[in-house]
Structure 1
Amino acid sequence: MIKNNIEYNNIIYTVKVSSFIKYVFPYILSVINIILIFIFVKSVKSEKEKVKMELVNEKLDMQYKYYLMVKESQEKMKRIYHDMNNHMENIKLLKNSSEEVNKYINNIENEVKSTKNIYNTGNVLLDIILYEKSKICIENNIDFNVGIDFSQCDFIEMIDISSIFSNLIENAIEACNKIDDNNIEKYILIKSTFIKGYYVVRFENSKINKVIIKSNKIFTSKKDKFFHGIGLESIKSSIKKYNGELKIRDSEHKFIVTVHIPFE
């Protein structure tokens, strides 16, 4: 009787455990599936961020090397620019009224105009970036107005200077190039100031395209949103490195980005 009772109890216990497992197992399976999906999504997101950062670093590295290559050319242009102006004035004084001479001088003046935007911000790399972007603006009839003092910003690394200024100016040029209304002026305005322990740079450009801004994030109409987001992520990453902040404002025909970076 004792033996039978033990066996009976074991059977009852087994049946209860089996029933419990049968009842709980679908829920356990669901939880396991949710965990696996979560791990998969997190892994995909992590891989996507990794690829994005690799593309950002690769782009910045290419920009940095390019600007260093241009440095020597810009230095030469600085040396000859003032001499060219003097030569042009002398030729004007000595020339006769021949139309061919006038045409020749005008052609030279047009060539000089493309190299007259030599900047002196206090940072060689930033000077080169502004010079290169100004040439693009001239080609696209965009008024490029810059007033930047970078003399107290030695703590900002060159790779971040390239990231912030190159990407923001490129975005501004792209927005201006979308303007097909002759009544809307195409312009880019960049000003900086030092105030209350912050270095503040204000980027303003005209535009015609609609921009959606939510939580200080830009939602673009571009088809390739992933690659378009790389530039903005690169800017934010560089600013965050210095505990800075990026603010975005938008109106019907104006787009404004303000960068605040604390400095000692």
Structure 2
Amino acid sequence: MSDILLAEIIRLVSIVLSISIVNFVVGYRKNCDIDKWKNIAIQSVIVVIIFIISKYIDVMNLSIIYNEKTNYIENYFSLFSIIKNFDFSIINLIWITVNIVIIVSMTLIYNKIYKVEWNKFIFLYILSGQYTSIFADIIIPRILFAIQTGKSLSDNIVHNLNIHDWNIFNIEVLANLFLVCILIIIFIKIINKILKNKIYVYASYIILVNSVFIMLKILVRFAEMHGPFQIEQYLIIMEVVPQLAIIAITVTIYIVIEMKKENEERIKEKQAYNRLETKNDYYEKVEESQNQIRRLYHDMNNHLYNIQMMNKSSEDTSDYIVSLQNELKEARKTRVSGNSLFDIIVDEKMNICKNKGIEFDIDVDSKNTGFIKNMDMSSILANILDNAIEACDKMTSNKKYIKLTSMWADDMFVIICENSKENEVKKIGDRFITDKLNKSEHGIGIKSVEKSVKNYDGNMMIFCDDNLFKVKIMIPKR
């Protein structure tokens, strides 16, 4: 393999690694169900385009070198240094424009296809890019070069290296960068698994971000041992440290904002839980009342039967008693699906649908579901039906309907709720956002359902299009 071809392969691998880092940081497939091959095709197109652009940037770098501007600092394409030195030359403006175009294009792709919030993507893309650049271009190469040669990258020895030497060195740099990324990913996964409290998790992230300064301290020590020290010192103190300080402050602010959001979410969940407790108490009282009424119906039927037997001679009295018995039979036509709380919730929502002109189609079996706590049954069923009723109530045309089905499929209790809709349903992150007037209640119902389902190691799937919203819940038998 020729050295030129190897250099291009190294460039391609470095781009793939950089894109992979961005994908991990933004969690690009977390919020979408994109086909595997479609995803591979999109990612391949992104890599190829960036590969072509990077080729042109390298050509631009070479033109600067051949114009005898060979000092590394002068050739170091850093937005920070451009702003600091007010050096908005044509070359720097081209560099800035190219990066803006890349950021805008990537943001549109990840927002439209992968459903990543545009502001979150831009922030994390720039952040991960800066950290990757600092590790790949400064920290790892300099430490590795000093270990292998006993010299600094600012030493004249670098001019004696040929393209083959640089290729081997760049492969080693990529391998070490890959190892660093793997260690960071393992660290993050362990932290998320061990620390349940998000505050401690965020605090660990802040420590991780600032740990780069420890690496810089090691780099300074290497620079002192392997001269020329002044150029290395200038690069670290005047260029890298200020960038890292700004990034660290930005990350800290971002994490504080995320902690604030997390705290607000906990408050909303607590409020939702309190409302659910109140609603559950109401359903339990209704259940108790219905049991008393059933006993009363039974006793009343017996009394009427006895009176009828005693008054066989009176035709008017007998007809009156028969009419009372028929009314009692009609009043007792309540649903008996196997779970009394399930029936109470369904009956309540069915009456609401009747008043709102919503067709309610029902086919339910909730036998042997006593292992599901009343609080969770209330959370699951009431929330999905409330959301369905709300969506139908906002419709101005077409047929308003809700179809509720529950059944046992082997050892899995399945609830399927389908409803018509017209309003747009948006998803941000892992939350569904509707057009409720009260912004604080967005997505809380679905999140509450999901939490209750997970209590039983169940799954919830959601499908929606312009005219339909469908929720499927599967809970394994205990």
- Is TM > 0.5 for Structure 1 vs Structure 2? yes
Ranges in structure 2 where 5+ consecutive residues have no aligned partner: 1-229, 305-314
Q: Equivalents in 2 of 1:51, 1:204: separation in Å?
A: 30
Output the aligned Cα RMSD.
Answer: 3.7
| Equivalent position SS for 1:121 | coil
Of 277, 282, 289, which residue of structure 2 is paired with 1:73? 289
Aligned length: 233
**Pairwise mapping of residues 53-72 of structure 1 onto structure 2 (< 5 A)?**
53-72=269-288
Q: 1:26-37 counterparts in 2 under 5 A?
A: 26-37=242-253
Q: Give the letter for the 2:249 counterpart.
A: N
Change (3 A) 1:49 1:216: closer
Partner of 1:133: 349
Give, in angstroms, the shift of residue 117 of structure 1.
Answer: 5.6
Partner of 1:250: 464
Residues 21 and 259 of structure 1: is their aligned pair in 2 closer, same or farther, counting only changes over 3 Å?
same
Distance in 2 between the 1:72 and 1:217 partners? 36
Alignment-derived partner of residue 208 in structure 1 = 422
The amino acid across from 2:258 in the alignment is K
Q: 1:81 to 1:31 in 2, by over 3 A?
A: same
Would the aligned equivalents of 2:431 and 2:447 in 1 still touch at CA under 8 Å? no
Letter in 1 for 2:415: V
- Checking the alignment, whether the CA contact within 8 Å between 2:276 and 2:379 is kept in structure 1 is yes
Distance in 1, matches of 2:288 and 2:274, equals 23
- Is 1:155 aligned to residue 371 of structure 2? yes
CA contact (8 A) 1:74 1:128 kept: no
- In 2, Cα distance between the equivalents of 1:21 and 1:251? 55
Query: 1:191 matched to which residue of 2?
Result: 405
Query: Measured at CA, do residues 127 and 33 of structure 1 come closer, stay the same or move farther in structure 2, by a change above 3 Å?
Result: same
- 1:14-65 Cα distance to aligned partner (Å, 9 max, x none): x999966455542342143034213312321321221122122111111111
Indicate the SS of the match to 2:475: strand
What is the CA distance between 1:214 and its match in structure 2?
Answer: 8.0
Matched residue type, 2:393: N
Q: Aligned partner of 2:374: which letter?
A: M
Cα deviation for residue 246 of structure 1 reads: 1.4
Residues 431 and 443 of structure 2 are in contact (CA less than 8 Å); yes or no, is this contact kept in structure 1?
A: no
Q: Which has the higher strand share?
A: 1
CA deviations over 1:137-186 (Å, ceiling 9, x no partner): 222232333332222222211111011000011111112222333xx333
- Aligned counterpart, 2:432: 218
Note the alpha carbon deviations across 1:178-203, whole angstroms, 9 max, x for none: 2333xx33322211121143211111
Contact preservation (8 Å) 1:129, 1:162: yes
- Per-residue CA deviations over 1:72-128 (Å, capped at 9, x if unaligned) read 3322444566879xx9xx99x959xxxxxxxxx9xx98xx97x66622222222222
CA contact (8 A) 1:117 1:131 kept: no
Give the residue type in structure 2 aligned to 1:160.
D
Note if contact 2:432-2:442 (Cα within 8 Å) is conserved in structure 1.
no
Residue 124 (structure 1) aligned with residue 340 (structure 2)? yes
Secondary structure in 1 matching 2:442: helix
Q: Which has the larger radius of gyration?
A: 2
Give the structure, 1 or 2, with the largest relative contact order (CA under 8 Å, sep 6 or more): 1
Distance 1:80 1:188, change over 3 A: farther
- Kindly state the Cα deviation for residue 249 of structure 1 after the two structures are TM-superposed: 2.2
Question: Does the residue aligned with 2:448 lie in a helix, a strand or coil?
Answer: helix
Gaps of 5+ in 1: 1-14, 96-104
Judged with a 3 Å threshold, the aligned counterparts in structure 2 of structure 1 residues 68 and 29 are, in CA distance, closer, same or farther, namely same
TM-score normalised over the length of structure 2: 0.42
- Residue 70 of structure 1: CA displacement? 1.6
- Aligned partners of 2:359 and 2:401 also within 8 Å: yes
Query: Is the CA contact (8 Å cut-off) linking 1:117 and 1:134 kept in structure 2?
Result: no
Relative distance call for 1:80 and 1:30 in structure 2 (3 A) is: same
Structure 2 distance, partners of 1:259, 1:240, is: 10
Preserved contact between residue 337 and residue 366 of structure 2 (Cα < 8 Å): yes
- Residue 455 of structure 2 is aligned with which of 211, 226, 241? 241
Whole-angstrom distance in 2 between the partners of 1:50 and 1:215: 16
